[in-house]
Every structure is written in structure tokens, then in C-alpha cells.
Structure 1
Amino acid sequence: MNLFIDNFLNLDSLRQTYPLLLQGLRLTLVLSVVTAPISMALGVVIAVAYSFHHRWLNLALVGYIDLFRSFPVVVLLALIFYGLPFFGVTLGSFAATVLALALNNSGYYGEIFRAGIESVPHGQREAARSLGFGPVREIAWIVLPQAVRNVLAPLASNSLELIKTTSIASLVSLPELLRSSRVAQEQTYNPTPLMAAAVIFFVLLWPMARWVARLERRSLASRGSRR
């Protein structure tokens, strides 16, 4: 037991490296806060464009969604950070990570929002048109609020996954929480910082995971009551 504590719960190691862990936590939070709204905004644009049912536009959107959902996000980040300079475009580590995460997650958010839009009864749109609403006002004021409410659980679940995926930033030497814990481990020759990073992720994400579970149960109960 003492050997386990010395290797995985070493307080001396933690005291030496906690500034690194805090720095990594801050960057992980910043990445999440920046990337999630961008991804959601792109997802809304995709879903709204799809709802107009223009054949060629829809084919292009399906191709975009399938491409970036199927493409490994780690490989996408490597191509953006290391490949774009060959075409004269150089992005910093932070910008490249945000772009890779946004492109990957926009496809997932797009499908979620599209499902939400399609779940809104067509009569709602007809009622909006009868009141003189144009297409943009109809989507913004009538359709989207109901669509978001209908898909709140999958939106929250995908956001949870996005936060965990920020750890790919370590590929381009961005000192987010996982990379910072690895650097701390190398400095102390002790895996305690990695354990600390795992605990931080758990404390950060567990309340959100419980909220997602509650939303999913509520959504299932709501569907059952409609039958």
C-alpha cells in the first residue's frame, strides 16, 4: 500500500507541480469555452441550411458532415498544424486546435440541430408564415427555440465529449491539462500528476455527466408520455 501511495498519491510531487496542473486546467477550460460556441454556431448554420431542402446544397452539407465526423480529429489537427504551412497558411497551436475541434464537432452539432429542427411540427412553420414571418425570422424565433429544447440532452452530451477531446492539443505541444500533467510527471519521475489530472477531469466533468443523464431520462419520459 505504501508503494502505491508513493507512486500514485505522492503529495510532495503534487506540491512541486500543482502550478503546472493549474496552468493546464486554465487552458483546457479556455479551449472548451472558445471551441464549443464556434462548433455550435457552425452546427446551427449547417442545420438551418439543410432545412431549406436545396438538393445540391444538401449533398454538399452531407459530404461535409460525413467527412469531418469520419476523419480522426487527431489526424485533422496534424494536417492543419503541420500541413497547411506547405500552402502558405500557418496557424498557432491554439488556433489550429480550435479549428480542428470546431470542424470535427460542427458535423455532430449539425446533425443534432437538424434532428431538432425536423422534430418541430410543420404546422408551427405554417403558423409563422401566416403571421407574416419571413424564413429567417421563422427559423430564429419559432423553429430554433423548440429545436434546441427537443435536443438539449444530445447537445449537452456532445459538449461533454468536446471538453474531453481538448486533450488532443498535446499533439501540437499546447500545455493543456493532459500535456501539463505529463510534463510534471517527467519533472518528478512520478505518475502522481497524471492521477491528479484524472481527478481534475472527473471533478470537472462529473456534474455535467449527471446533468446529461438527467436530461436523457427527462427526454425519454417526455417521449413516453406522448405515446
Structure 2
Amino acid sequence: CRFLRPLYHNDTIYVRLTCKQKVDRDVASAEHPSGIVKWFAEIFDADDELVALATVLTMVQKKQETFVEMTDEKIDECLSKLTSDTKPRWGIMTPQHMIEHLEYTYKIASGEIQDFEVATPEKILEKVHNSLWSYDKFPRNTQFPQLEKDTLAPLKHSDLNTAIEKFKAQREKYIVFFKENPEAKLKNLVFGELNRYESYLLERKHLNHHFEQFGLI
């Protein structure tokens, strides 16, 4: 900061900021993508006289524009487009397989299923876990850890509509669990131990991934 004249305690000042430069940060930890913004600051006194000049650096979180927020209403809107004949844009899942897969993952996310080992190797688990905080989409055709390659789990429900109702009921259990246990941490097969916010990040990415897979968003 360069002062053109002294400033004193209780002086009234006004600051005009001009953005001069934006630089993306490399983020490899559990934080959202951000960047450094360089500002040119002009400081004026109450008489509108320029009294100081400064350079200010701020760290700003990037706006999330990749994923659709998955509210109850948005999920209903998306699923209203899904029929048993809907074809995936990639992968071998049928619509009902996709819905039953999501139901199963909510059983994990609500704490009903926790008797498993994390499938991701310990040496890369932190990196994989931290990827939840990024705005990158899940890769297509990723293999679910508990299934053999190019295989589908047997269907559990009689039809797609029943599967959708079971999915919604299980999602509600997940929501209620974290309302009642906001400080809880639960295991995930791929990402390890997740807190409430990280479970939300996973849900948003996961639903976006599969709803995009079937052309619902």
C-alpha cells in the first residue's frame, strides 16, 4: 500500500476496487476449486481526494456450474421422463438397474449397510476422496466395486415404478439420518469416510451422473 497523505483513526475512507488479474489455483485437498484475484485499490477520503493506492490479493471460490442441484422437485421432474424403454447414452444398465443401484447406494449413505471394506487402495484413497470436492464429473463406464466387469446385479423389484418408490423412500432415510446425526461420518465403498457435507457432494455428483446417463438432464 502506498499512502499519498497520512490517514488517522476514525477517518472515513472509500475504496474503489478494479480487478486486474485472475489466476486459478491447483487444489489437491478437501476444498472446492478456487482462484487468486488481484485487485488494484484506490482509497479516497470523505472529500473524494485520493489518499492511498494498494494491491490486494483475495482467494475466491469458483462458482459451481457443472452439476444440477438435486432437490426433491428436481428428482421428481427427472424421473417423470424415465420409462422402462429409456436407453442409456453409455453403459449396460437398464433404467430399473440404475434406480436400484441408486437405492442401494442410499442404504450405504444412510448407515444401513456399513459391513464392507473400502475398495479404493489406501495409497490413493485421500486423492480419490478429495475428488468429491472438485467440479469434475464422474468418468463414464466406471465399474461399481461389488460387481464383476460387464455384469448387472439381479433386479430386486417387480417393475420400474416400484423401484422408483423404493429409491425415494431410501433417499428419505438418508436425509433423516443426517438431520438426526449431523456430525456422523459413514464409510463409502469408493471414497472412504464421509461426513454430511461430503455425502451431499457425492449425492449431487452421483445423481447427475446417472440422470445424464439416461438423458434426464
TM-score of the superposition, structure 1-length normalised? 0.23
Q: Which has the higher contact order (CA 8 A, sep 6+)?
A: 1
Greater share of residues in strand? 2
TM-score of the superposition, structure 2-length normalised? 0.24
Greater share of residues in helix? 1
